[in-house]
A and B are shown apart, each in its own frame.
Chain A
Amino acid sequence: MTTPTPQRPDAAAAVVRARSLALTSSRDRVVHARAVAGIGLMQGAMAALTWGVAANDLPWSGIVLWAAQVCWLAAIVTVSGWRESRTGTTPRHARRTALLGVVASGVLLLAISWAVHLGGAPGVGPAAAVAAGVVVALPSVLAGRRIRMAGAPEAHR
């Protein structure tokens, strides 16, 4: 196939047109950012519950943790569906950033779960449990912030 050679002005115009075709809206970025931050906060809440409730060996901790896990999985499915329904695009690099954040939070959550359930880690008070939850949520929240801020200059153009 022979490709016709564009003239210099046509080539310049095509380059300008390519730069102007930004599909992602600020709203899409906000939705993706909130979704990944929300999943991270849920992971943090699970970590706080695991350490604060299960490790203290309270009589109802098994039921609480079981119910929390069901709610957690349902919430993740709901958030994922909400994100799909509210957005028309996945911003550039948002998928990778979100995955890194959620996996990092997930690894921290798993570490706490293993320490409590398999390692017999001692229970902690509410403040320490919440602090652990914040640490677990942090990677996902930061991923959300990164997704949101990545489009900041475009949003104000």
Chain B
Amino acid sequence: MTEHPRHRLDAVIHAPVRFSIVAALATVDEADFATVRDAVEITDSALSKQISTLEDSGYVAVRKGAVGRRPRTWLRLTRTGRDAFERHLDALRRIAEGASS
């Protein structure tokens, strides 16, 4: 018997806001903090908190930079994060298709 796809869901990515952040970052090589914040429609502090969680899990890498005198933060999904997201999305697809065994 094959295991139920729910066992392949990723606990870190499963939270709705983090899922949106990771899904958004999966479409790019890198994105700046403000672009992700606007796309996911959350506050700076909420995004910072979620990014910290994702960074601690090794799913997101943060790069601090500057454009002129303005500081800028760039976010990137790591290979581990991309693989975890693919597995999570695959599990969701299988649940949506009704796979139970």
Q: Interface of A with B (CB < 8 Å)?
A: 1-6, 8-9, 11-12, 14-15, 17-18, 21-24, 81, 84-85, 88-96
B20 touching A3 by the CB < 8 A rule? no
Q: Which of B6, B19, B34 contacts A5 (CB 8 A)?
A: B6
A18 touching B19 by the CB < 8 A rule? yes
Q: With A14-B92, A15-B96 in contact, do A88 and B27 touch (Cβ < 8 Å)?
A: no
B68 touching A85 by the CB < 8 A rule? yes
Chain A's nearest CB lies how many Å from the CB of B65? 7
Residue of chain A at shortest CB distance from B16: A14
The complex places the Cα of A21 from the Cα of B20 at a distance, in Å, of: 7
A11 touching B96 by the CB < 8 A rule? yes
B98 contact set on A, CB distance < 8 A: 8
**Interface residue? B61 (CB, 8 A):** no
A21 touching B39 by the CB < 8 A rule? yes
B89 contact set on A, CB distance < 8 A: 15, 18
B55 contact set on A, CB distance < 8 A: none
B23 touching A18 by the CB < 8 A rule? yes
The complex places the Cα of A7 from the Cα of B9 at a distance, in Å, of: 13
List 8 A-B pairs, minimum CB-CB distance, nearest first. Answer: A88-B35, A12-B96, A18-B23, A11-B95, A90-B29, A11-B96, A5-B6, A1-B11
- State the majority secondary structure of interface residues on B: helix
A3 touching B32 by the CB < 8 A rule? no
B25 contact set on A, CB distance < 8 A: 23
- Interchain residue pairs with CB less than 8 A apart (13): A3-B14, A4-B14, A5-B6, A5-B95, A14-B19, A14-B92, A21-B20, A23-B25, A23-B35, A88-B31, A90-B28, A91-B28, A95-B29
The complex places the Cα of A1 from the Cα of B53 at a distance, in Å, of: 14
The complex places the Cα of A11 from the Cα of B67 at a distance, in Å, of: 39
**Chain B 25-54 per-residue mask, 1 if CB under 8 angstroms from chain A, else 0:** 111111110111001100000000000000
